[in-house]
Chains A and B, each alone.
Chain A
Amino acid sequence: MSFIGLFTLLLAHFITGRGLLQLLQVKVRLLFMVCLSFISGTAIASFIPFFLELAHQDITPISVGAGLAVVTVLFSIPWLLKFKQWRYPTMADVNLPEIYEWPFFAIFGYLIFLSVWRCYFYPPNARDMLSGPEVMAELALKEKHIINSLFTVDLQSTNNYLKPPFITSLQIIYKMFVQPVGQLWLSVFFVNFIVILFALLRERLHKLVACFALLFFFAMPEVFGYTYLMLFDYSNMIFLFLGMYFLHQFFEEKLNSHFYLSVFLFTIATYIRTETLILIGFTTPLLIFNMYKDKIALPKIALNTVVMMAIPAIVYFLCMNVFVKHYIPIKYDVSNDINKNLGDLSPFFTRLSEISTKLLFDPKVGVIYYCYFPQLFILVAAIDAIAFRKYSKEAVTALYGIGMVYVGLAFIGYLLPLADLMHTTKRGLFKLFPMVMLYYRNSGVLLYISAKLTDWEEGKSDTSKTATKPLPKKPMPAKA
């Protein structure tokens, strides 16, 4: 493995992502900004081999390296221009964990290490990869093109070569510059995402409650498995969740920068899995409702709605109508995959029911895949509904996100019969879980427990007022 290659790539990802955040004028806390920069920069890098292929250029270490260098330099300009405003981390930024967090940190640390190690050690073996993106990437290294001799082999048994070139491109980059297995980009997404998730929880909940909540998230075997089994769904989950989070920040703070970042993140989610466009469509009512409630002019509402759909749709068009249609030498018509009997809604309701009965709450399958995560959410939501009945704006966004994914996946199953329950829907459900975590940091009961614990820990006698204190107006106060 080339550590120099890995370090250079990470640096390039960070600078690219940081430049993007500067360009969009997004201001978030330091740790959040660093993690988001890595995630965004890695996503931007994934377009380089794809665009080289679209431009009929050879994919070589020189062309990809030059592409990375150009992108990094271009994105660094807005950041470098503001170098006088750079804020360097100080000791005040270091929030040392409490002693009671250490057992959790040891467990999280081991699980993260295990995931990164397995990403490094195990060659990819998911069939969806070996008969699609992985073999395309492997052959691209030898033949300098994503469209290569794979298409001279009998491909009757697979359609995985039709997937967007997100993984293919990242595999090419990481195989070229890091190690033959590639794959470590998945760890870049995973580690940074976990840090963001934990920071979000820890911001509002008591540290002990935040640790337990994250433990439940970590300990979903199915989800944890895909932190080192290379497929589309974990990355797709990250970008859809972050898109929803920044969409909510836009509702809260009315900053266009958050809206544009949200659109960027939704666009990447669509680039990873094109059917995400349907889920983004399901999100537009939330955007329209919030903007209407804030008395924003109708043309502005219409414009934002169009932007939120149009930018991801452009990437969809690029993948499906340009790349698949004009570059892949096998004829494919997406309309052939669409349900021919759309008048019959029974598949939609069947899938809606099966998501609960055969996946989430199935006493055998559900427990093996997700352990008690879904049950815990129902319990917390039920206590909130019965005993607290107050929902912050963010809690509403999170609940909307949960509903959007649930109904959206059933709709995708109805629209595209190939999207089966035990593969596509099962992995699509990953997108629910970080939304649940977003809900947890707004949950009445968890905030109540957190306030009680904090007051007791800090030695305050009267907990009745703080226990029901309103949520902070700005959960992520801006720091340049």
Chain B
Amino acid sequence: MTYKKIILLAIAVFGLLIFFKAEPYQNWIDRFILNPNTVLSEQFTRKTYEERKEYRFGNLYMLVDYIKKNLDTTSFKTKEPLILLPPNDYLKSVGVDAFSLPEPSIFYYHSGVKAVWTTSPNVEQANWVIIPAGANNVAFIPIRSKEELHQHLQTFSNFKPTL
């Protein structure tokens, strides 16, 4: 009886080889299962929650971290920081395309800091803004007056906020 099980084993192995040789399955294995970008050994070294978030969200996480640190250390203290997010299309138009800014709810999730779009009802209360600062770089600066705020809104006015 054992030889029959060995034959079935051979059929199983042969069947599996054919299965994973088929293009869509091979693509799936290559892209999502054995993808070098998701190598387990590298992930095993990232133990803390912060490290995992950095790994998962990349540039966006670094930006959020930078904003949080800036808010903690800046001399421009605001009771309730409210950040004006420039439209992503605007950022792309000036050469910042390494990341997209999320919508206000997701920005709040990542940073714990409230943000507004240019179309938000409370945009007039914005007291910080993210602006481009060279190729694929942004800066986070305070808005010190209504005039400054309106200047920023004017700069962004040709672009609609998008996801």
Contacts and interface: CB of A to CB of B under 8 A. Distances in A.
Nearest to B24: A371
Contacts of A457: 1, 4-5, 8
A107 B17 CA distance: 12
Contact of B163 (A132, A157, A179, A458): A157
B119 interface: yes
Given A121-B52, A135-B105, A456 B13 contact: no
B108 A135 contact: yes
Interface stretch (B89-97, B109-117, B130-138): B109-117
B76 interface: no
Contacts of B114: 152-153
A100 B102 contact: no
B105 A208 contact: no
Nearest to B38: A118
A125 B56 contact: yes
Contacts of B11: 100, 208
A219 B25 contact: yes
Nearest to A117: B40
A317 interface: no
Interface in A211-228: 211-212, 215, 219, 221, 224-225
A179 B53 CA distance: 13
User: At the interface, is chain A mostly helix, strand, loop or mixed?
Assistant: helix
Contacts, number: 121
Nearest to A98: B5
Contact of A158 (B13, B53, B103, B161): B103
Contacts of A152: 114
B32 interface: yes
A212 B15 contact: yes
A127 B108 CA distance: 13
Contacts of A158: 103, 105
B104 A181 contact: no
B52 A150 contact: no
B12 interface: yes
Interface string A99-143: 111111001000100100110011101010011101100100000
A149 B15 CA distance: 55
B119 A98 contact: no
B57 interface: yes
A250 to B, nearest CB: 36
A190 to B, nearest CB: 16
Nearest to B31: A221
Given A117-B40, A153-B104, A154-B104, A103 B9 contact: yes
B28 A219 contact: yes
Contacts of A459: 1, 4
Contact of B13 (A103, A123, A135): A103
B70 interface: no
Contacts of B32: 221, 224-225
Interface of B: 1, 4-6, 8-9, 11-13, 15-16, 19, 22, 24-25, 27-28, 32-33, 38, 40, 43, 46, 49, 52-53, 56-57, 102-106, 108-109, 114-117, 119-122, 161, 163
